[in-house]
Amino acid sequence: MKGRDIDGLIREFFEANYRQMLAEGGAHVLTPRALQQARQQVEHYWKKLRDVAVSVTETEVRLQLPNRVTTKGRRFVIEGVVDLVREQDCIRMYDIKTHYCGEVLRHRESYAAQLNVYAYIWRELRGDEVHEMAIVAVQLPEAL
């Protein structure tokens, strides 16, 4: 499929998704400018993440462990959203962030801890091990 065909499909899917979200009450009406910027953000993601995107087998996977209890008896939920790539016996987990790359590098330990929590949730829910994990930082253009 050619780049122009893909760009057209991205626009078509974006518009269909937005209309569906409006119909279901899951979105606010956006101004034309905000709608254009949202579409540009999706297009930017595609350009930056194409290699990852074409290999993703599950996207926007919601990880949630409800009814956890602290040592003081307080209830809480652990949750996150990730993308997965499954290839034979290997599971790779990606957490895509719209943060600046430098921000992720400066706080590498915090992001690593977050990925470890997500891998723990995955193991608890699915019983599978995660073999590789990564944060994918996609710095948006200044205009977005």
Give pTM, 2 decimals: 0.66
Q: What SS3 class is residue 54?
A: coil
Q: What angle do CA 135, 139, 143 make, to 5 degrees?
A: 155
Dihedral in degrees, nearest 10, Cα atoms 40, 43, 45, 47: -130
pLDDT in tens, 26-81: 778 888 888 888 888 888 878 877 877 778 888 888 999 898 999 999 999 989 89
pLDDT in tens, 96-139: 887 788 888 999 999 999 999 999 999 998 898 999 999 988 77
